[in-house]
Structure 1
Amino acid sequence: MGSKAPIHVLLVSFPGQGHINPLLRLGKCLAAKGLFVTFVTTEDAGKDMTASNNITHKSVTPVGDGFLKFEFFDECLKPNDPIKKSPSTLTPHVELVGKKFISQMIKQHEATNIPISCIINNPFYPWVVDVASDHGIPSALLWIQSTAVFSAYYHYFHKLIPFPSNTEPYIDVQLPSILLKYNEIPDFLHPSSPFPFFGTLILEQFKNLSKPFCVLVDTFDELEHDSIKNLSKYIPIRSIGPLFKIDTKTNISGNFFMPDDCIIGWLNSRPLASVVYISFGSIVHLPQKQVDEIAYGLVNSKVSFLWVLKPPHKHLELQPHFLPNGFIEETSNKGKVVQWSPQEQVLAHPSVACFLTHCGWNSSTEALTLGVPVLTFPAWGDQVTNTKFLVDVLGIGVRLGYSQAENKMVTRDEVKKCLLEATIGSKAEELKRNALRWKKAAEAAVADGGSSERNLNAFLEDIKKLAHN
């Protein structure tokens, strides 16, 4: 590895697909710039990643001027352990095991010529910054949602403004840069949230926000200028995204599934801007009746589509979806249903007209950055806030679904109406114009001298200074 040992950065990721992807993208960027990066997550996630990609536990891969290594820690649980059934029992268990593992890693590397100089985590593992602090190692947080959502959590945690409560569930929230209705705030913060545990978990990160020397956000200045400017008054925040757009000239990926081989070939056979791409991310599981309505909406609208209908996560004990009788036969010349897809490649494909999405932040920024209009179908959490921005602020979306807390069914007629609105006619043209404008802005942000590129380089300089101190 040359005479001068590279600076060693440790990345610790919550094992969700939507958490691993952005942190691994950051890891590849740092490695490409000459750092030695170790990427850590649980063994369960590691098994899925190694089965689907060209990576192995503890192998070191050159990336640009640096290196990337993967390490997976054992959760010390049997496959059917009841602790795995609920996040509220699994999370404290993983924290105990994870803290021990990271502490041992730090000690082992202290004795080598590449001690760990900086630790970066993502928000569902708030304990990582405590471990870093205990060992006197500088840490940073990669926030993997929007700055506006960060601002909502920040204002809630510090009680800076009123939020909906049990006594006043319908009040609007006036953030410095935007007014959000009661059903547009990240719904883990709403008293009626079906998943209050996740709100509590994320707020844990805000308790120890004084420990990281910097908060990195997978966004860009032009996209969230006002939110970034307002938050900068309180915390050192740097926008460094969209991370997936930064070319590190490596095909290392953290995907849990192998995409179907034939997807890109099938898209090549479709006319320009004709296909609706449908995917609800790696976790969201729609009610079966809603899947039926979407299917009938597709049949009735006669649009061409690529639909990712993935099996539910093994720990969730949910029934796999099935499609209405005759659906596959009736749409065989128009559509394709797959279990997983290479989403970035699909969204970049010229035959894709729009994206029916759950509006997770990764999917939202990928759509924006690749110039693809969206039909919004949020389920929970930050997805409802992202919907507000995609539709009302950024002008690239049509509202279709509701959050699962609202318990509303979207009918096949609504699906058909919105599919047509987003793919043909003046509204579709306006959405596409706006999407292309954001695509241009995103490309400029990550280009040489762009806002995100400057911020990433400044962060790198910080790490180097801290390492030499």
Structure 2
Amino acid sequence: MAQGHLIPAVDTALLLATHGAVCTIVATPATAARVRPTVESAKGSGLRVRLAEFPLDYAGAGMPEGVDNIDNVPGEFIARYFLAVARLRAPVERHLRAGAPYPTCVVSDFCHPWTSELAAGLGVPRLTFFSMCAFCLLCQHNVERFHAYDGVADDNEPVVVPGLARRFEVTRAQAPGFFRNPGWEKFADDVERARAEADGVVMNTFLEMEPEYVSGYADARGMKVWTVGPVALYHQSTATLAARGNAAAIGADECLQWLDGKEPGSVVYVSFGSIVHPEEKQIVELGLGLEASGQPFIWAVKSPDHHGEASLAFLRELEARTAGRGLIIRGWAPQALILSHRAAGAFVTHCGWNSTLEAAAAGLPVVAWPHFSDQFLNAKMAVEVLSIGVGVGVEEPVVYRADRKEIVVGRATVEAAVRSVMDGGEEGEARRRRARALAAQARAAMREGGSSHANLVDLVARFQPRDVVNGTTTTTPPRP
């Protein structure tokens, strides 16, 4: 799947292995290549974690060879990609049956409804994994459950999210429901059915950050929710932080050397994740806004080959003008390493939950700049619930639009947002205090005695084999 799903899923597997589980990570070749260094490092430290690689049937699915991860699948092949992944059920089941120990539980991303049949075939429980926060999931659930959009013709007309103690407004464009897009109706129904049939939920968040939304979602779904995050805190060393998720386009030592030369809390980190590729006009406006802010910055520009020569020329000119103050990384950046450095002061983010939670765990305020999907609700979480962020005013999806409407955040807005989040005044300092307090809670949740630590221990204990004879499980564990 996409990096925002893949990275926390692997981290969760490593955490479960830390507490005694034997974890098999199922991956396509491109995905396996990205996470293999992390998995091998964990195996080298004694964890019982393994990587099982399964190629897709590209020809059978009518797909180009080698496109097996969301960020390298052309848009016109996305539906075929999901069908191709679903066809892995039989080979994955054969692999798990042949290996030892016999699996006791399947934990699968909510985007893989086919794993319902996989778990049933194996005769074991299945848990749904969400790389999202409970606030987002509960809002999405409630607008569908209570038919909040009935009678609302305009996709950008705000409605109040029903069933919450606090008032939050969303639009259908911001929160349509998962896969509730034309042509995806059956897949969306399959996803919902699989979620309803799951034996529980594993979620990359922590209880202290959103207790009312965790309990609200558990009650709404009528199932157990294990909060196990922030799972990124599994990584404590520079090496694993730098290698997490993909090979970085900059060496860890070079990155650290640049950061070491900056004042504490002075650097703005900018990244929009692995899927979003801003258009040329947005590249220019963002760069000029960062330049005008006067702050040192690191800007991760993913996949330079997506940009035209004019964009690349602008980036070279910007580098020359901001030499020593600005660092532009062309490709994958060691994000967790950067955010955890003392020089980091704020994060300009697309508000993918992986990034939002990493900022919170690092104690950093954010500039919330959502682009699509759950990012709008994550932005509300950061700005309105946690009060650790400022927004740039984007209220409708920027990408995956059928009408190709151009939405550009101007340089003045970028500059103002960066200055606001880095402000040394009373409001800015209060925002940073809240972010630091949240980071302390996150670390406490992952330590022994903390809520996430306890949930990880409970997960392993609940689903471990009860009777093992000669390395073979003879009974399956109880359902939650």
Classify the TM-score, shorter chain. 0.7 to 0.9
Establish whether residue 236 from structure 1 lines up as the match of residue 224 from structure 2: yes
Q: 1:103 — aligned with what? A: 93
How much does 1:397 deviate? 0.4
For structure 1, the residue ranges without an aligned partner over 5 or more in a row are 1-14
Aligned-residue offset at 1:44: 2.4
Instruction: Say which SS state the counterpart of residue 83 (structure 2) adopts.
Output: helix
Q: Does 2:237 match 1:251?
A: no
Residue 64 (structure 2) aligns with: 80
> For 1:33 and 1:463, how far apart are their aligned partners in 2?
12
Does structure 1 residue 173 correspond to structure 2 residue 166? no
Q: For residue 121 of structure 2, what is the aligned residue in structure 1? A: 134
The separation in 2 between residues aligned to 1:298 and 1:132, in whole angstroms, is 49
TM-fit CA distance, 1:460: 1.4
The residue type paired with residue 52 of structure 2 is: E
Following TM superposition, the consecutive aligned residue runs of length 4 or more in structure 1 with deviations greater than 6 angstroms are: 197-200
Instruction: Write the deviation string for residues 124-157 of structure 1: whole angstroms up to 9, x where unpaired.
Output: 2121122111321221111111112221333345
Q: In the TM superposition, what is the alpha-carbon distance from 1:228 to its structure 2 partner?
A: 1.2
Q: Which residue is 1:187 aligned to?
A: 175
Q: Specify the code of the residue in structure 1 equivalent to 2:442.
A: A
Q: RMSD of the alignment, in Å?
A: 2.9
SS at match of 2:139: helix
Per the alignment, in what secondary structure is the counterpart of residue 208 of structure 1? helix
Gaps of 5+ in 2: 68-72, 399-404, 467-472
CA distance in 1, matches of 2:165, 2:121: 36
Does 2:418 align with 1:434? no
- In 2, Cα distance between equivalents of 1:440 and 1:322: 40
Question: 1:69-109 CA distances to partner (integer Å, 9 max, x unpaired)?
Answer: 1111111226835995321122112212x112212113312
Query: Offset of 1:443 from its aligned partner?
Result: 1.4
In structure 1, give the amino acid aligned to 2:362.
L
In the alignment, the residues of structure 1 paired with residue 457 and residue 416 of structure 2 have an alpha-carbon distance, to the nearest angstrom, of 46
Greater CA deviation, 275-284 or 164-173?
A: 164-173
Match of 1:147, as an amino acid?
Answer: A
Tell me what 1:4 maps to: none
Aligned to 2:280: 288
2:402 equivalent to 1:411 = no
Letter in 2 for 1:182: V
Paired with 1:311 and 1:246, the residues of 2 have a C-alpha distance of 27
Match of 1:219 in 2: 205
1:32 corresponds in structure 2 to 18
> Deviation digits for residues 267-306 of structure 1, max 9, x if unmatched?
0111111111001111112122111101111222221100
Provide the secondary structure at the position in 1 that maps to 2:170.
coil
Query: Helix, strand or coil: the match of 1:390?
Result: helix
Query: Does 2:452 align with 1:452?
Result: yes
How far residue 240 of structure 1 moved from its aligned partner, in angstroms, is: 1.3
What is the deviation of 1:248? 7.9
Output the amino acid matched with 2:261: S
- Rounded to whole Å, the distance in 1 between the matches of 2:370 and 2:246 is 22
Question: Residues 20 and 430 from structure 1, CA distance in 2 versus in 1: closer, same or farther, beyond 3 angstroms?
Answer: same
Q: In structure 1, what is the Cα distance between the partners aligned to 2:334 and 2:313? A: 22
Q: Which residue of 1 aligns with 2:133?
A: 146
**Post-superposition offset of 1:197:** 6.5
Aligned to 1:3: none
Cα separation, 2, equivalents of 1:229 and 1:106 = 34
User: 2 CA distance for matches of 1:432 and 1:300?
Assistant: 22
1:116 match: 103
| Alignment counterpart, residue 265 of structure 1, candidates 251, 257, 260 | 257
**Aligned CA distance change for structure 1 residues 198 and 401 (closer, same or farther; 3 Å):** farther
Change (3 A) 1:200 1:381: farther
Match for 2:377: what amino acid?
A: T
Maintained 8 Å contact 1:23/1:142: yes
Instruction: For 1:125 and 1:284, locate their aligned partners in 2 and report how far apart those are by CA, in whole Å.
Output: 22
| 1:61 maps to amino acid | K
Q: What letter corresponds to residue 251 of structure 1 in structure 2?
A: T
What residue identity is the alignment partner of 1:73? F
Distance in 2 separating the partners of 1:270 and 1:197: 50
Q: 1:67 pairs with 24, 44, 48, which one?
A: 48
Q: 1:189 to 1:208 in 2, by over 3 A?
A: closer
State the 1:186 CA deviation: 4.7
The answer for the alignment partner of 2:5 in structure 1 is 19
Q: Which residue does 1:421 correspond to in 2?
A: 420
Select which of 317, 320, 334 maps to 2:325: 334
Partners of 2:134 and 2:38 in 1: CA distance: 33
Query: Are 2:84 and 1:93 aligned?
Result: yes
Compute the TM-score of the two structures, normalised by the length of structure 2: 0.83
The answer to whether 1:382 aligns with 2:374 is yes
Give, as a single letter, the amino acid of the residue that structure 2 aligns with 1:272: P
1:359 touches 1:376 (CA, 8 Å); kept in 2?
yes
AA aligned opposite 1:414: T
Identity percentage of aligned residues: 23
* Partner of residue 402, structure 2: none
- Verify the 8 A CA contact 2:178 2:188 in the aligned structure 1: no
The alpha-carbon distance between structure 1 residues 54 and 67, as it changes in their structure 2 partners (threshold 3 A), is same
Contact 1:188 1:198 in 2 (8 A): no
3-state DSSP class of the match of 2:455? helix
Q: Which residue of 2 aligns with 1:8?
A: none
Q: Give the counterpart letter for 2:246 in structure 1.
A: F
